[in-house]
Structure 1
Amino acid sequence: MNWWIWGGALALYGFFRLWYDNWRGPLTKAEIDAFFADVQGKYGGGNDPAVLRAFLEADDGKEFVMLNLVQIEQGTVVDPQTGKDLSGREAMRRYSDPFVRALIARGGHPGMVGRKVGPYVDAWRVEPDPGWSIFGLMRYRSRRDLLKLASDPRFAEIHPYKLLGIPVTFSFPTQRELSVYMGPRVWVALVLALGAALLQLALG
Structure 2
Amino acid sequence: MAMVDGWLIWGIAGLVYLLFRGWYDNWRGKLTSDEIAHYLHLLDGRSDTTPEAIERLRQFIEADDGRDFLMFNIVKANLTPVADPVSGAMVPGVSLLQRYARQFTPVLIANGGHPAIIRRKIGGYMDSWGTEEDPGWTIIGLMRYRSRRDMMNLVVDPRFEAAHPDKLAGTLATFSFPTMPMAGFYVGPRLWLALVIALVAAITHLLSLTL
Instruction: Tell me the equivalent position of 1:117.
Output: 122
Cα offset, 1:115, TM superposition: 0.7
Instruction: Tell me the equivalent position of 2:180.
Output: 175
Instruction: Tell me the equivalent position of 1:32.
Output: 36
Bigger radius of gyration, 1 or 2?
Answer: 2
1:132-143 matches, cutoff 5 A: 132-143=137-148
Whether the aligned pair in 1 keeps the contact of 2:68 and 2:147 (CA below 8 Å) is: yes
Instruction: Tell me the equivalent position of 2:71.
Output: 66
Paired residue secondary structure (1:167): strand
Paired residue secondary structure (2:71): strand
Backbone CA RMSD of aligned residues: 1.2
Matched letter for residue 198 of structure 2: A
1:54-203 matches, cutoff 5 A: 54-203=59-208
Whether the aligned pair in 1 keeps the contact of 2:81 and 2:92 (CA below 8 Å) is: yes
Cα offset, 1:39, TM superposition: 2.0
Percentage of pairs with the same residue: 49
Cα offset, 1:45, TM superposition: 5.1
Paired residue secondary structure (2:36): helix
Aligned partners of 2:117, 2:125: CA distance in 1, in Å? Answer: 20
Aligned partners of 2:142, 2:62: CA distance in 1, in Å? Answer: 22
How many residues are treated as equivalent by the alignment? 204
Whether the aligned pair in 2 keeps the contact of 1:66 and 1:140 (CA below 8 Å) is: yes
- TM-score for both structures, normalised by structure 2: 0.92
Q: Which moved more, 1:61-70 or 1:99-108?
A: 99-108
- TM-score for both structures, normalised by structure 1: 0.96
Structure 1 segments, 4+ long, off by >6 Å, are none
